[in-house]
Amino acid sequence: MYWRSWVPKAPIIAAKKGNKVIMTPGNPLYFDAIPDKNSLMNVYHFNPIPAGLNKEQAANILGAQANSWTEYIPTTNRLEYMEYPRMLALAEVLWTAKTNDSSFMHRLNKQYVRMDKMHIHYRLPDIEGTLQNNAFLDSAVLNVYPPKEDLVIHYTTDEKTPELTDPVLDHPLVIKSDKVIKLAAFTPAGIRGDIYTCHYTKTTLSPAVMVKRNYTGMNVSYYAGQFKTVKGMDQKAVTQKWNQPDLSVDAQKATAGAFGLRYSGLITVPTSGIYTFYLTADDGAVLTIDNKTVVDNDGLHSAVEKNGQIALEKGHHFFKLDFIEGGGGYKLQLKYAGPGENTPQLVTADMLR
C-alpha cells in the first residue's frame, strides 16, 4: 500500500519489481483532510497508474483506496461530511478508468437526491464566485447563486454566523465600503453547508517600485526544523540560502523532514488593477506583496487553497512567500488572475525575474 506521497518513485519501483501495489496517497485520498472547493475534482481526476510503467508493470497496480482517520472526527454526521461526495468520485474513476466532468456532475446531482433520502450528511456543493479577501477601488459586487436548485443562501453583514432567519441572498450585493459578509447555503431540511467569510476592503493602487538589484528570480532562505506557523522562521537561524527562477521546492536542498522556506524578490504585473492570488499549501504559506498580507494560508494542514486580492500599479512590486512543511509530504502552488480575468494561471518565472 502506497501512501507516502513525498516518495513518488516508490510505487513505480515496487511495480517494476513485480510487487502488487494499492495506491492511497495522502493527497487526495486521505478523506480526513479538510475538503475545499478543489477536493472533489482532485479525487475525480486521480490516476492510480503512475507515469513510467509499461502495460505489464501497470498491471501490478491493483487499484486504490481512500482512508479516514477519525481521531479528529467526533460524529457520524461529520464522518459522512468528510467522505461524501468524494467517495462517489473515487468509485467512479476507479471503476471506469476515465473522466467526463460534465457527465459526472450531472449524475452527481441525482446522487444528491438519493443521499438526501438516505439521510446522508454529505458536504454540500461549493458556492462559486466568492473570495476570502476582496480589494476594490470604487465598489465591488457579490453575485452568487445556490449551487443546487433546492438550496437557499442566507447571509449576514455583522460578522455573525448565517442562520435561516437571516436575509436570503437572491440578488447582487453592491459593496462600497469596508465590510465582512458571511454566507452559507441551507437545505430544505435546514442543514447548513460551509460558511464563507468574504472580507471587502476599499483601497488604492499599490505603487510600482524602482529597485536596483544584482540578481533575478527568487532569493530563497531555507530553515531546517519544525514550525507551527511561518513566523517561527523569524526565531531561527537560516540553514542555507540560494537563488532560483521560480517558486518550486528544491527537494535536493530542502532535505529535512520538516522545514521552512522564504522566497523573496520582485513580481512584475503588466497592467494596473485588481489582482487575485490563489495559494495552495500543505502545510502552511503566507503571501505578502508590498509588505501587505494578500493570502494567509498559515498553519499545519493538508493541501487547501486560500485566496486574496490586491490593487497593483503596472510594474515591479516587492514579493515574499513564506512556506512551512511539517512532515508527511508537501505542496506549494501559487496562481493568479489579472484585472478582468476569471481563469487562474500559474505565477511563472517570467513574472519573478
Predicted confidence at residue 4, as pLDDT, reads 84
Fold of the domain spanning 218-352? Jelly Rolls (2.60.120)
Return the sign of the alpha-carbon dihedral for residues 338, 145, 104, 48. positive
User: Does the pLDDT of residue 93 top 80, yes or no?
Assistant: yes
Q: CA 238 to CA 236: how far, in whole Å? A: 6
Secondary structure of 107-159 in the HEC alphabet?
HHHHHHHHHHHCCCCCCCCCCCCCCCEEEECCCEEECCCCCCCCCEEEEECCC
Q: CA 262 to CA 319: how far, in whole Å? A: 10
Of 313, 315, 332, 312, residue with least CA distance to 323: 332
State the virtual CA torsion across 28, 25, 45, 149 in degrees, nearest 10: -30
User: Does the pLDDT of residue 6 top 80, yes or no?
Assistant: no
Q: Which residue do the cell numbers 473570495 mark? A: 131
Residue pair 83/68 in contact by the 8 Å Cβ criterion: yes
State which H helix or E strand residue 57 sits in. Answer: helix 55-58
Query: Using one digit for the tens of pLDDT, what is the confidence trace for 156-197?
Result: 999 999 999 999 999 999 999 999 999 999 999 999 999 999
Q: CA 187 to CA 191: how far, in whole Å? A: 5
Query: Using one digit for the tens of pLDDT, what is the confidence trace for 140-152?
Result: 999 999 999 999 9
Predicted confidence at residue 342, as pLDDT, reads 87
Of 44, 154, 42, 34, residue with least CA distance to 90: 44
Kindly list the distances between the CA atom of residue 132 and the CA atoms of 129, 135, 305, in Å, as whole numbers in the listed order: 10, 10, 11
Average pLDDT of the residues in 71-78: 94
Enumerate residues 6+ apart whose C-beta is below 8 A from 102: none
Q: CA 274 to CA 60: how far, in whole Å? A: 50
Of 28, 59, 63, residue with least CA distance to 48: 63
Enumerate residues 6+ apart whose C-beta is below 8 A from 261: 220, 221, 222, 223, 249, 254, 322, 323, 324, 325
pTM: 0.89
Query: Using one digit for the tens of pLDDT, what is the confidence trace for 215-245?
Result: 889 999 999 999 999 999 999 999 999 999 9
From first CA to last CA, the distance across the chain in angstroms is 42
Enumerate residues 6+ apart whose C-beta is below 8 A from 318: 209, 266, 289, 290, 291
- Catalogue the E-assigned strands of the chain: 21-23, 61-64, 133-136, 140-142, 152-156, 173-175, 179-186, 196-202, 218-224, 240-244, 259-269, 273-282, 284-289, 292-297, 304-312, 315-325, 331-337, 345-346
Average pLDDT, the chain: 95
Average pLDDT of the residues in 52-69: 95
Predicted confidence at residue 177, as pLDDT, reads 96
Query: Using one digit for the tens of pLDDT, what is the confidence trace for 239-297?
Result: 999 999 999 999 999 999 899 999 999 999 999 999 999 999 999 999 999 999 999 99
In three-state secondary structure terms, 318 is strand
In three-state secondary structure terms, 240 is strand
Domain ranges of the chain: 10-117, 133-202, 218-352
User: Does the pLDDT of residue 321 top 80, yes or no?
Assistant: yes
